[in-house]
Amino acid sequence: MKLTQTLSMGCIAIAAAISASCTPPKQQTAELAWNEQAVENARMQIGIEIDTIEASGKVLNPVTLTSEGDVYYCNYADWRSGFFPGSVWYLYELTQDSTVLPLARKYTEALYEAKNLTWHHDIGFIINCSYGNGLRLAQVPAYKEVMIDAAKSLCTRFREKPGIIQSWDVKGNSWQSERGWECPVIIDNMMNLELLFEATKLSGDSTYYNIAVEHADRTLQEQFREDGSCYHVIDYSLADGSVRHRHTAQGASHESAWSRGQAWAIYAYSMCYRETGNPKYIEQALKTFRFMKNHKQMPADLIPYWDMDAPDIPNAPRDASSAAVIASALYEISTYNIQEAASYREYADRIMQSLASTTYTAKQGENGRFILMHSVGSIPHNAEVDMPLNYADYYYLEALKRKSDIEKEQ
């Protein structure tokens, strides 16, 4: 039966309370640590967005800004649809504000039909960020089945010959077909494996785990350069599984280091290490991180250019989303039993202090009510250049949550 959540007539009042109650007195604000102030700012900014959504009488899902400066809202099938509901779950976890819970559930359950998506690989992003966090924090039993169903849908994209999950379909006159690809796999796809690991834990069926490991292993074999950086797209033959092309879709060139791709690799392989204990995964995550850390073009504030080989550095746009993903990954890495673990937390703190500054954090009520400014979607597609992005906010909040967890254990 389809999940529904009936909210009370006071939902707009709840949303208003969230935003109205979260402005601390000026003296208190001055006394807060940078990360505590970042949480308070996020609480206000998301509260204002919730006010806007609830006043509309609809379930809206904010993604970014249009070229005209209006907020772009997506539907459930958009690969980014899970990030705003996930951000609301993280807001609840960071603040323990129970008024957020019914809203988090409503925004999550609006994505119910996404569990059946089989035409793209990003169902992991959609479902794990929303339902996954909801299951973890609210223990809603029905969310378990949604997670498992979504994992089944993702597994329909597994291709046996190359041993990978195909990212994009190549049909008709699509831009993917114009590239000459047959079975493209992007590094982003590694992030969707967490859904499969979770599905095995929830169901006891090792099929999901095994597919995740096979995809991670083939990607490890084919997607990385000797210096630790990764290609964006590997195109495989469906007939024999061989590599046909090593390309990019969103980077500056086929051989360049597209920053968000490097961030996905660092995050995803640290996650694979957490789920499997296989040291080759954390070794790759750290190798890719060292590539980024030691890159001669890395800015002093540690917020990468959109591509580390962009032709117009130092005037190239920065990408706050890449920085947020890396910071979140590094906080988790710092909890592992590895050498110099504390150094990864310290580096993450430096990234996050930059993101929490006025250079990257928007004034309350501005920036389309997104938290972070200065992210890049895809410069080659002239899409979302120097714009806020909901996944930048999501991983920023996740990083704040992981930092909070570490400090509670100290």
β-strands 375-378, 383-387: how paired?
antiparallel
Q: Is 122 a catalytic residue?
A: yes
CA distance 35 to 244: 46
| Structure token digits, residue 64 | 């970014």
The residues, any chain, with a CB within 8 Å of residue 210's CB and separated by 6 or more, are none
Task: Please give the backbone phi and psi of residue 156, each rounded to the nearest 5 degrees, phi first.
Answer: -65, -15
Unique residue bearing structure tokens 């785990």: 209
DSSP 201-261: HHH--THHHHHHHHHHHHHHHHSB-TTS-B-SEEEE-TTT--EEEEE-SSSSSTTS-BHHH
Catalytic residue among 51, 188, 319, 393: 188
Crossing angle between the packed helical segments 390-409 and 34-56, to the nearest 10 degrees: 140
Is residue 3 within 8 Å of 146, Cβ to Cβ? yes
Closest CA to 343 of 331, 358, 359, 329: 331
Catalytic residue among 122, 235, 309, 319: 122
Q: Is 235 a catalytic residue?
A: no
Residue type at 262? Q
Residues classed as catalytic: 122, 188
